[in-house]
Each structure stands twice: as C-alpha cells, then as structure tokens.
Amino acid sequence: MSLAGVKCLVTGAGGFLGQTIVCQLLGENLAEVRALDKAFSSETLQRFADLKSTTLLTIMKGDIRDTSFLRKAVHGISLVIHSACIIDFLGEVEKRVLWDINVAGTQLLLEMSLLHDVKYFIYTSSLEVTGPNRKGDPIYDGDEDSIYQVTNGFPYAETKREAEKAVLELDGLPLKDGSSFVTCALRSMYLYGEGSSFLLKHVDEAILNNKVFSRMSQKEALVNPVYVGNAAWAHVQAAKAMRNPEKGKQIRGRFYYIADDTPHFSYADFNHELAKELGFGVEPKLAMPLTMLYCYALLLEIVSFLLRPFVRYVPSFNRHLLTLLNTPFTFSFKKAQRDFGYKPRYSWEEAKQRTGRWIAEVTLERAASLKSRKV
C-alpha cells in the first residue's frame, strides 16, 4: 500500500528522528506533509528544501500544548506520526514539564485527532518503556512477548510509558465516517547517525580528551543501536501497512521494537567503532569499579538534593544513567518484519559510512572551536 495522496502531520519534525521521517515521506508522493515543531534550525529547513519534492511541505511552528494550534495542525489530516517529546536522562528537566509535554501533549494531540477524524496514529515510543529496571536485569535478543519486571523508574521513562499506553488504548474508537481509529507504537533502540546530539556530545568530550572516548559502560553490556534512517523508515512502512486492510488488522493497538543489522556493542565501544578510522580511541576500562561508580553517583545525587533549596545542580551522571549504560539490553525486530514488512533501508556498512563521514566533517570544526574555548 502506498502513501500517495495522503496528508500527514509529523510532530517533532525539527528533531533528529522527526526531520528524517519528513525527508523520507517527501519521497513517497504524499499530497501534503505538515512538519510541526516549536522551532526549526536553518540547517533543517535547508535539508527539506534540498529535496525538491512535489509533495506540499507545510512548516508549522508552535507548541504541542496549544489546543487551537493543534486543531489547525490536524485539520484535514488522515495520518499523524507523533515523534515530539522531551528526552531527559539526567534529570535536567523539571518532572512537571516532562509530563506536561510528553504525556499531556500526547493526550491533547489524540483528542484533537479524534475530533477531526484522523484515521491513523503512529507513536514514537522508546526502549525505556521496557527498561532496564532499577535492578539492571538484562535482556538478550528479547521480543514483544518477553516478560520483564518493569519498575517505576526515571521520570522520562514513566512519561513515555504513560503516553504509549494512552495511544494504544484508544485504538478501535469509532470515527464519524463509520471507520475506527488505528494506532501503533514503535519502540526504537538507541538512535545514531548524522546529526545526533548525543553522539556529537561524546565526540566533543573525546576531542577534549585527546580524541579518546571515555568509558562509562562495561564491554559486556551489549545493546543494539539502530540507524536513524532505518528507524524513520520503520515509521513509513508502518504507515503504509496501516492503510492495508489485512496488515492493518495485525498491527493495530500494538507496539514494536525497531532495530536493524547494526552489530551489538556496549555504548562506549560503539562510539569507538564509528570513529576509530578517524583516529579516535576509547578508554580500555571503567575509571573505577562499577560499584564505586554507583556510590559516587549516589553521593552526587545527595549533594544535588541538599543544594536544591539554594541552587539547581544536575550531576553529569546518576545511578539511572549508569544502569542504562551497563545493562545488556538487546531486542529483535522480527515481529515488525513479520507483521508490517519492516526491512532496514540501510545496511550496517552504509549506516557506518554515512555516520563516519558526518563525524569527520564536524570533527575539524568542533576541534577548533573547543580548543579555542579551552584556551
């Protein structure tokens, strides 16, 4: 099933994944793509313009919590891809703000979608909806049927879990035209690729450390990252499947893990794998035993709590982040492959080359900037 003639709204369209989704949709002969975000960089807008698509691209700048703005955004739309959210692993964002945008914003978008008879709704979820839990229980090659003890965790994970639940629970609601609302959620693995702010942060730190990546994850803590182009392509393929009467029945109201053929690495070793041909190294072991790192993280959290009445201090790492980085957590994408025909668009070699070229481009620029700042 194609998307020809469809009008689609993409939220978070100025973000890392969102803009990649928009770019891929512009090659699918849609009638219109509405790109919604609070702000767009000049680089993102230029990236859209360079595609020279025949599809109408409408840039919509506004807040997902604005009812009148969302009403205008969904009017006449049949497909919503909701990738907008605030990502926070360190506790830098107030919990109230996280819930306001990630949960209340999603609920408002759902309300406006149902009010205006939007037929299809895809939610960009997160692996953190699953875990790791506080105990750091591992998963090796898990799938959608894996039983895992989820514990109340960091606020970001809680907001993504609650928003995903809201999306999936509304599947099947009747619409005015006699059809029913169709929803699904895609839980992507750790995203990498050109333009990743997380990867850029690690590159910056490595440059200041004589081009050596710091190690915060043990070698055996394997995860399976996914290239941003493949995660975006999964959204496009899910959208096509939703419009297919047979495949649509299979995926509605369900969540799917989205990975690709990227080899399994620890986070630190993965950064090194992407940049080693550019002369980057990686620390051979953790700076101190993992137990001591947890104790140190706890101490920093206590200091942050004690200082809260006077100043907002956010430690550079915490116990939650250490658990994320040091828990083996890998998943299969076979169910997505089986139910809606997901197949990675880019091979591991191509994804690695694309990401490596981008790292090479930014390294010279960032190195000069960071060194001058350091002086």
State the helix-helix crossing angle for 42-50 and 16-25, rounded to 10 degrees: 20
Contact criterion met (CB below 8 Å) for 226 and 368: no
Q: Which of 7, 160, 240, 352 is catalytic?
A: 160
**What 3-state class would DSSP assign to 60?**
strand
Across 189-301, the runs of DSSP E, i.e. the strands, are 191-192, 212-213, 226-227, 254-258, 281-282
d(Cα 12, Cα 36) in Å, to the nearest integer? 6
Give me the residue label for tokens 């080693």: 276
Catalytic status, residue 335: no
d(Cα 60, Cα 51) in Å, to the nearest integer? 18
**What 3-state class would DSSP assign to 226?**
strand
C-alpha closest to that of 270 among 309, 212, 224, 337: 224
For the annotated catalytic residues, the residue numbers are 160
